Amino acid sequence: MTGTDIVLDLTRRIKEIENQVDLIEIKNDFDYYDADNGMARSLNVEKQVIKEFQKRLAPAKKEVTDLRGQEKTMLSAIKNSCDKITIKMSEYISKRGEVDRVRREAAHLIEIKSAEVEAFKMVENGVAPEVANLVIEHTKEFEIDLAPLQELKGRTKIGSTYKIELIAGEDELLFKTKNLLLPTTSAMKEALKAKIKALVKATGVHVIPGVKISKVPNSKRKDVKNA
């Protein structure tokens, strides 16, 4: 394949990823693993994009600016797709955990009702009410031992991170509070946000004047060969 053919093929595969991300709905474990496999494939395509453009950039000094712009566009498309599917996967994990919690609570309530019936029978048979009530209290205290929800295992690790934003019109509060100089370039602002993010992770502080701190889902992918 020529370099142009490779780029066209990669563009086609990226478009497939974008279309799949927009269409997929994660409603069960099979859907989750399908999404997980898509994340792994996206990493494979991402690596191939980087490899192809590294090869093309070497001899094409005059085309460097255009090639880097094209590479950035393609990688941004992959990142945006991964961000979308990460949110969907994270939401499914939360819903899945909630369903399991409801299942456990329902089973526990059944056990309590059964204990109440047993306590009533005990009282009818002459057992002191306070003794019979111990059966109910014991059942309430200890949850039923249900089989744990099967862990989702795949090539994608879903976690969370912090998004740091300097609030327009209020960002000076941060610098007055911390006695810092106002950053004058975007690079300085990004460096400051990275510093704040590290502080939040290390200390657990979530309220800083002039800063909006949001917890957002993130993901770490493992590659799949021959995507």
Q: How would residue 162 be classed by pLDDT, with cut points 50, 70 and 90?
A: very high
Residue 156: per-residue pLDDT:
92
Instruction: Please tell me whether the overall predicted TM-score, pTM, comes out greater than 0.85 for this model.
Output: no
**Can you spell out the DSSP letters for 49-66?**
HHHHHHHHHTT-GGGHHH
Identify the CA nearest to 162 among candidates 213, 94, 199: 213
Residue 178: per-residue pLDDT:
58
**For residues 157 and 149, which has the higher predicted lDDT (pLDDT)?**
157
The encoded tokens of residue 107 equal 């089973």
**For residues 170 and 131, which has the higher predicted lDDT (pLDDT)?**
131
State yes or no: pLDDT of 191 exceeds 70: yes
State yes or no: pLDDT of 27 exceeds 70: yes
Beta-bridge partners for 208: 211
Return d(Cα 226, Cα 113) in angstroms, integer: 55
C-alpha separations of 61 from 47, 57, 58, 65 in Å: 22, 7, 7, 8
Residue 174: per-residue pLDDT:
64
C-alpha separations of 123 from 112, 116, 120, 174 in Å: 16, 11, 5, 67
Q: Model confidence over 85-137: pLDDT tens digits?
A: 999 999 999 999 999 888 888 888 888 898 888 888 888 888 888 888 888 88
Apex 135 CA angle, 133 and 141, nearest 5? 105
Q: Model confidence over 39-80: pLDDT tens digits?
A: 999 999 999 999 988 888 777 677 778 888 899 999 999 999
- Domain ranges (residues) in the chain: 3-96, 157-221
CB contact set of 145 (below 8 Å; sequence gap of 6+)? none
Q: How would residue 225 be classed by pLDDT, with cut points 50, 70 and 90?
A: confident
Residue 40: per-residue pLDDT:
93
Identify the CA nearest to 220 among candidates 149, 161, 150: 161
